[in-house]
Structure 1
């Protein structure tokens, strides 16, 4: 019975570890958004300027799931476990309400 359990547990662990891992399309989209943001140069800009940039780049204006993050784009997952990936922009603002730092990352919606 132990041998059968090993044959079931090992593939399950591998599926979970690799089924939701970052794929080439996600990495490429992250790079595309980083490039767009580098051209925009968000450091020192206001949220209003960021909203204008979002509008110009087809990012929904209500895509702030939390005050510090924007969903830039959602893409379909191609793994067995992840159904969707979101590319996020996280921002920090200073006491003058200007963007002081930002980062682009991704997160998968996984089982």
Structure 2
């Protein structure tokens, strides 16, 4: 790719960008990705604190994950770990919503 020799980003830079995006687009659905959580144990919490309002846990069965592994050591959990994810979100001061992720403005169209 054209950027293959460029320095890698960081969790810190990602969190700063999440905060800037939240300021510029206050109503957007803004995910903090699994990659951030893979690189930093508290990646979701840092992303949520910066303005993200969507987390993207990988909860596919272990036997299926291997078939579409994008990168090694991707943070993932088994479905039974969902209560732990819920606690993390609530401890960060947010409420977990497992419903469909349509933005409310799209429902008005």
Q: TM-score, normalised by structure 2?
A: 0.28
Q: TM-score, normalised by structure 1?
A: 0.28
Bigger radius of gyration:
1
Higher helix fraction (1 or 2): 2
